[in-house]
Amino acid sequence: MEAAERFMGMKKDKRMLTAVVLLGTAGLILIMLSSVFSGGKRADTGTKSPELTSMSGEEYCEGMQRRLEAFLGNVEGAGEVRVFLKVGSEQRYVYATEGKQSRSDNRCEEEEKYVLIGGNNGKSALVETVQTPVIEGAVILCSGGRDPAVQERIYRAASAALGISTARIYVAVSNGKGVSQ
């Protein structure tokens, strides 16, 4: 009740009513100006064309190897780190579909179509998700790998970073010429 009474009191006070109208108008003007000064940029809807997100499995793998080498190089005692990743599949696009079902008598028919976007000349299927290549295993060479505690930290960090079990990771000692265990 108190809020309603205050509102009625504001309606009677001409200065208060004028202040509220001016503040509201100023707010609307600021909103309009922000859309003008932002250059008409729109928020990303999460749908990117394949040209913008395409990356070969090899490029993805090399990037992940570099990131993992830098990450594991920070593990205490690891020393110099080299990583080789086994990638099981290429990057895949999952396209948006729409479907409809019709039932009559004892028959059920399903129809599924890709969702198309674009104008008359440039229609393309709408990319719903981009699935990154699947990492199946890793070989990690590190100069500090002789210490079992360092090896354990490397196994755990790589497993957590890659999302694979430690059984799919092999940690070896790098001696500068090859691999020894």
Residue 144: pLDDT band by 50, 70, 90 thresholds? confident
Vertex 103 angle, CA 98 and 104, to 5°: 150
Predicted local confidence at residue 149, as pLDDT: 92
DSSP bridge partners of 117 = 124
Whether 4 shows a pLDDT value over 90: the answer reads no
Mean pLDDT of 64-74: 92
Say which residue, 57 or 110, is predicted with more confidence. 110
Q: Helix, strand or coil for residue 150?
A: helix
Whether 69 shows a pLDDT value over 90: the answer reads yes
Predicted structure pTM score: 0.51
Phi/psi of residue 151, nearest 5 degrees: -55, -45
* Whole-number average pLDDT of the chain: 77
Lowest-confidence range among 35-39, 66-70, 88-92, 145-149?
Answer: 35-39
Q: Could you report the per-residue pLDDT of 43-59, keeping only the tens digit for each?
A: 444 444 444 345 666 78
Residue 7: pLDDT band by 50, 70, 90 thresholds? low
Q: Which residues have C-beta within 8 Å of that of residue 162, sequence separation ≥ 6?
A: 64, 68, 85, 135, 138, 169
